[in-house]
């Protein structure tokens, strides 16, 4: 139920983004989303009695990386790209994140090496993106620009997620996320202020846009984050990461029902190739999940003494 709820919440968020973009500039919309989320997370942290003051250098490093890369760069690129393509494109292309993560982990994490099946999966993922981008003369233009921005958004998130694995925080996840969100919102406001196309005079929100912004800030960001980590603690990070491949289906269905969008057979084929790439990258994890659900004792999580790392909710073993 948690898994289904999270997939539904995050799937609908892309429809909410498209609705908000009808009258609010993209980066400003992302900034306001995180303004709301930061207030909700701060209130939740205070209600739970969580310590909020950063104590260590790792705390500050995590806050800086999360605020600038995971939120600032990632969401600026995501919202800019989403204005050129259907809502489902954002969800589909962001599902590329766990596929490309091993490539950055091998460079940025000293103990991590890319294995052959992960390399095959990464190549499959990019082939899927090329199919979705459909780089024909008729597709050149706004759509291609949107695809490039969305891929850049996925890459930014993957890099940020890997970099955060180099640090250990003394604060709770909720406290760290609160600081990341506050910093990210401030950075998004700075980016918005520096873009000539983003002016408050162009904002004209109606009831639909207000509802979309509230949904993005409260439900998709704050509640979605809390559900995500509750799910990780319940079923594990590896199984939770599979939500990335349910979200596009939710987005496509809701985009069709609410926005009248359609998916071409080419886009569906590209997504299928990305899913194949994911299966290659996560071959070890998928095998362990199969053993877990068949009752085999060979499944084991990534423990503190194991040679493995958890990157953006995905477990990567440094040896077989």
Q: Residues near 287 by Cβ (< 8 Å), separated by ≥ 6?
A: none
Determine the angle formed by the axes of helices 57-65 and 142-164, rounding to 10 degrees: 170
How many structural domains compose the chain? Answer: 1
Classify 49 in phi/psi space as left (phi over 0), alpha (psi -120 to 50) or beta.
left
The verdict on residue 284 lying in a domain is yes
- Residue 128's nearest CA partner among 273, 9, 280, 287 is 273
Lookup result for tokens 């490093």: 61
Retrieve residue 103's tokens: 């490539």
Residues spanned by the domain of 78 = 1-297
The answer to whether position 303 is within a domain reads no
Is 320 a member of any domain? no
Cα-based torsion angle of the residue sequence 127, 131, 137, 140 in order, rounded to the nearest 10 degrees: -90
121 domain-assigned:
yes
Rounded CA separation 71/49 (Å): 25
Residue 307 pLDDT = 44
312 in a structural domain: no
pLDDT for 59: 92
Quick one: how far is CA 246 from the chain centroid?
Answer: 13
- Write down the pLDDT at residue 35: 94
Q: Does some domain include residue 307?
A: no
**Cβ proximity of 83 and 233 under 8 Å:** no
Enumerate the β-bridge partners of residue 314. Answer: 311
Phi, then psi, of 224 in degrees rounded to 5:
-60, -40
The pLDDT assigned to 84 comes to: 87
Nearest alpha-carbon partner for 149 in 27, 298, 4, 37: 27
- Using DSSP's 3-state secondary structure scheme, residue 122 falls into helix
Instruction: Evaluate whether residue 74 is within a structural domain.
Output: yes
Look up the pTM and report it: 0.78
Alpha-carbon gap, residue 216 to 223, rounded angstroms:
10
202 lies in a domain?
Answer: yes
Q: Which parts of the chain are beta strand (E)?
A: 308-311, 314-317
Mean pLDDT by 10 residues, the chain (320 residues): 88 89 90 93 91 91 92 93 84 77 74 74 76 59 80 88 83 89 95 85 78 92 84 67 77 82 77 79 69 54 46 42
* Interatomic CA distance for residues 317 and 237, integer angstroms: 13
């Amino acid at each position: 139920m948690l898994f289904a709820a999270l997939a539904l919440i995050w799937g609908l968020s892309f429809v909410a983004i498209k609705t908000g973009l009808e009258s609010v500039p993209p980066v400003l919309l992302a900034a306001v989303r995180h303004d709301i989320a930061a207030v909700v997370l701060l209130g939740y942290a205070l209600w739970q009695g969580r310590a909020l003051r950063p104590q260590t250098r790792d705390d500050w490093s995590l806050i800086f990386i999360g605020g600038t890369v995971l939120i600032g760069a990632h969401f600026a690129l995501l919202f800019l790209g989403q204005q050129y393509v259907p809502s489902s494109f954002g969800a589909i292309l962001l599902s590329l994140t766990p596929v490309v993560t091993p490539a950055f982990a091998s460079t940025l994490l000293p103990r991590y090496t890319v294995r052959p099946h992960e390399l095959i999966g990464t190549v499959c993922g990019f082939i899927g993106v090329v199919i979705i981008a459909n780089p024909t003369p008729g597709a050149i233009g706004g759509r291609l620009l949107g695809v490039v921005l969305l891929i850049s958004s996925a890459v930014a998130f993957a890099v940020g997620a890997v970099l955060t694995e180099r640090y250990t925080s003394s604060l709770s996840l909720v406290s760290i996320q609160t600081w990341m969100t506050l910093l990210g919102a401030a950075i998004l406001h700075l980016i918005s202020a520096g873009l000539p196309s983003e002016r408050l005079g162009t904002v004209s929100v109606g009831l639909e846009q207000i509802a979309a912004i509230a949904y993005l800030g409260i439900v998709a960001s704050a509640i979605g984050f809390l559900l995500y980590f509750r799910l990780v603690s319940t079923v594990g990070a590896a199984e939770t990461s599979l939500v990335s491949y349910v979200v596009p289906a939710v987005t496509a269905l809701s985009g069709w029902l609410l926005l009248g969008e359609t998916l071409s057979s080419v886009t569906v084929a590209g997504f299928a190739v990305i899913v194949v790439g994911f299966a290659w990258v996560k071959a070890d994890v998928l095998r362990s999940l199969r053993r877990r659900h068949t009752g085999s004792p060979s499944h084991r999580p990534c423990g503190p003494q194991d040679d493995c790392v958890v990157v953006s909710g995905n477990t990567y073993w440094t040896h077989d």
